[in-house]
Structure 1
């Protein structure tokens, strides 16, 4: 067993715990990211707004991946019916 395989085996239980915490507290973390982005943007007087927004978006995407919120995008067998009925002919 290689070093990376050994490391993956040991970190596997921690991944489940982190995922659970991300699901429970994801909204709080995302609120904190927004708040921090606003403070940094104010301190830099808007000079780096585009970079701050980009970084915030990437951090939120990472949180969603940790919380497994985007499971249906991975090619799952889920089907969402349309909200409106088809037109009658």
Structure 2
């Protein structure tokens, strides 16, 4: 197993067990950036948050871990 496969497996396990907390972290990070930019890039930040959560949630091939 390559190093990247090992990292993907660990990330998948983390998302499976802590998906809600990870989703909250993505939301908080986006909100922080939105606040620092004065809301100027709110739409782009929201899209980035959604894409990040979708990407993380899809690691195991199922869309069930992050809301």
- Which category of TM-score, normalised to the shorter sequence, fits these structures? 0.7 to 0.9
Match of 2:9 among 16, 23, 48: 16
Structure 2, unmatched stretches of 5+, are: none
- The structure whose Rg is larger is 1
Structure 1, unmatched stretches of 5+, are: 1-8, 72-89
1:33 aligns with 2:23: no
More helix by share: 2
Q: Deviation per CA, 1:33-81, whole angstroms, max 9, x where unpaired?
A: 111111111111110001100100000001111243338xxxxxxxxxx
Cα RMSD between the aligned structures?
Answer: 2.0
* TM-score, reference length from structure 2: 0.76
Q: What secondary structure sits across from 1:46 in the alignment?
A: coil
State the match for 1:68 in structure 2. Answer: 61
What count of residue pairs does the alignment treat as equivalent?
63
* TM-score, reference length from structure 1: 0.60
Distance 1:42 1:24, change over 3 A: same
Q: Structure 1 stretches (4+) deviating beyond 6 angstroms?
A: none
